[in-house]
Amino acid sequence: MDELDKIVITDEVKVLLREEQTRLLKIIDALSKLDKSKEWDTLKETVFTKSLTAIERQMLNECVAKEVDINKIYRLQGEWAWAKQFTETDRFVENLKKQLEEIKKKLT
């Protein structure tokens, strides 16, 4: 049993966890429906995949520059992670489901 298992969750925290649980379920449901639509495929292809490619190119250019701007690389990594989650919605939904599972464990 690790330290986190020993923490007592108050009623106030349980309310917040249930609210987060509801929010995650809504997001998962919406993404599942959205992922099946032709329009979403169009958006992924024309917006997110192209953005991802452009961000990757910028990251590579920055990494081989004479003077590397670490802050710019960090910013680009954040943008990359954002764009990546929308090009791989299955993986994003799996992460949300894992969060949901952790909340369920805490509530029981």
Local structure of residue 64 (DSSP, 8 states): T
**What residue spans define the domains of the chain?**
3-107
pTM: 0.68
Residue 6: predicted pLDDT = 62
Residue 4: predicted pLDDT = 54
pLDDT mean values, one per 10 residues, the chain (108 residues)? 64 92 95 90 89 94 92 94 88 93 90
CA distances from 91 to 13, 15, 17, 67, 73 (A): 28, 28, 22, 35, 24
